[in-house]
Amino acid sequence: MVALVLGDTPALPLHTAGKYVAAAYIVVFAIVLIYVAVMAIRLSHIERDLGELLELSERDEPAPDAAAIAAPEPESVLP
Partner 1 sequence: MYGKGLRALSISTVVAMALALALVFFYAPLEAEQGFLQKIFYLHVPLAIVALCGFVLGGLLAIQHLRTREARWDMRSYVVIHMSLIFGVATLITGSIWAKGSWGHWWVWSEPTLVSFLIVFLLYATYQPLRFAIEDPERQSRYASVFAVTAGAFVPMNFIAVRLSTAYLHPRVLGSSSNLPGPMKLTFMVSLLAIALLFATLCKYELTAKHTRQQVRQLRRRLAGDGDAAPRRGRSAVPSLQGVTAMSAPSSGRTGL
> Which residues are at the interface with partner 1 (CB under 8 A)?
5-12, 14, 16-18, 20-21, 23-25, 27-28, 31-32, 35, 39, 42-43, 45-46, 49-50, 52-53, 56-57, 60
What totals of helices (H) and strands (E) does the chain contain, helices first? 4, 0
Least distance to partner 1, CB of residue 62, Å: 15
Least distance to partner 1, CB of residue 60, Å: 7
The Cα angle at residue 32 between residues 30 and 37, in degrees rounded to 5: 90
Least distance to partner 1, CB of residue 64, Å: 20
What residue type is assigned to position 32 of the chain?
V
Rounded Cα distance between 40 and 36, Å, is 6
